[in-house]
Structure 1
Amino acid sequence: MPEATPGPRPHHRPARRDGGFFEGFVGGTDPATLSEAADRAAVLLVRGARGDDEAAVAERIVHLADTEGIEAIAEVWSGAPADTLAGCLWRLFVLRSWVHADAAGVAAEFEAGRRSAEVAHVVAGVADPPGPDELRTMVDAVLRGIGTGDFADVLFRASAFARVVAVGRAHLPGAEGAADADGVRRMLALAEQLEAAGHLEMRRPLG
């Protein structure tokens, strides 16, 4: 699993290839071709979603993993560095897929961490109390910002959310175990990667 994956990867249906978003981007299995496809698709999503149909584009972005399958996204983005648009998008979509797959568990972790990470809790912007529905709403709202808002803000909000969850994981019973400790470290690594990318985006547009 990629370093940034926040938790156990849920089962997803096979990626759909019938008229999918990446059609026209991926022309083969050559690594150089896939890398170029990843960059082109990421730039289109982050820099090109502007105009009268912004809302429709934003909704399509939010549900990209649902319509294409997380495997299709992984094919072109999972190997990208964390300080690139493609790498950031991969981490954001993994985060959303994980929240939707285990919203109740995520809500418990967020609740456990929000009092110890109050600033991050505020930045993340989750409704109070942070139940499963509120978590799904928050993570979808964050991804909508990819196409309609400040991408640095998207990264900072996602980072703050991941940091609160990491703190919560560390405070929940059983966190002393090796598997739980590894999950805390991976979540913190994800938070740090997204935050660092947000600062880079503020200094210069990521590519």
Structure 2
Amino acid sequence: MSDESREFHKPVRRPAELFDRRFAAEDPAEVSRVAHSTAQALLARARTDPDGEIVERLVAFTSEHGIDDIAELWSRSPSRSLPGALWRLYLIQLMIHDDPQTAALLYERGRLEIASVDPVVAGAPTPAGPDELVDLVDTILRGLFQGDFAVALDRAAAFSRVQASGASHLADDYEATEPERASALTTRALRLADYATDLTACAALWRRESLS
């Protein structure tokens, strides 16, 4: 990403800094209420935008503003809630934009190793390079606001599982020679696997009209 070189934009906070970050709140109940109401309002507004201009701004949000603004509202929401799902999607998007080369490496390794239909569900071309993965994650995020919300969540979950598979197998490769790198890859794999589980659950809740 090139935000750090843009003179008038807020610095982008890197994904590694955000996985375990906690934000202070004077009234957690009020923060939760605002998180849910803003997520619902944002989704409703985007779906009534006939020209798609709002959707494009939402897809490009982290490129323009970083992720602190939405993190303040959504990062502490339950993982299986509407703001929790949106938070995970934005964080995955930022991870891919931040380092598309590594993302492509993990995805291709995961695609070759995983024994499931997840690569097909995710919808990346074969093979998928850095540019293709950036386009894919933006397309998935766009689908949240314009298409079938549950399908977009399922695609994001499948994408995360492929990435997790790639990270796990690369961690095994580096275990003997670069243990620190192996540990970092294992941590990423576990987090992505958790995200995949949460996003799949959110998709099921959405289909039951129970995601709020």
TM-score (norm 2): 0.80
- Report the CA distance between 1:112 and its aligned residue: 0.2
1:57/1:147 contact within 8 Å kept: no
- Report the CA distance between 1:186 and its aligned residue: 1.3
Counting aligned pairs with the same residue, the percent is 40
Q: Which one has more relative contact order, counting CA pairs under 8 Å at least 6 apart?
A: 1
Which amino acid is the alignment partner of residue 73 of structure 1? I
Q: Which moves more between the two structures, 148-157 or 197-206?
A: 197-206
* Runs (5+) with no aligned partner, structure 1: 1-10, 16-27
Residue 183 of structure 1: aligned partner: 188
Deviations 1:112-144 (A, max 9, x none): 011233510000011222000000000000011
Residue 199 of structure 2: aligned partner: 194
TM-score (norm 1): 0.82
- Report the CA distance between 1:29 and its aligned residue: 5.6
Residue 63 of structure 1: aligned partner: 60
Deviations 1:32-74 (A, max 9, x none): 3322221111102223322353511211110122233201111
Residue 121 of structure 2: aligned partner: 123
Q: Compare the two structures and name the one with the higher helix fraction.
A: 2
* Runs (5+) with no aligned partner, structure 2: 13-24
1:45 aligns with 2:50: no
Residue 89 of structure 1: aligned partner: 86
Which amino acid is the alignment partner of residue 182 of structure 1? T
- Report the CA distance between 1:150 and its aligned residue: 1.1
- Measure the CA separation in 2 of the matches of 1:77 and 1:160: 22
Equivalenced residue count is: 186
After TM superposition, list the pairs within 5 Å mapping 1:1-207 onto structure 2: 13-14=10-11, 30-117=27-114, 118-172=116-170, 173-174=173-174, 177-207=182-212
- Measure the CA separation in 1 of the matches of 2:49 and 2:167: 42
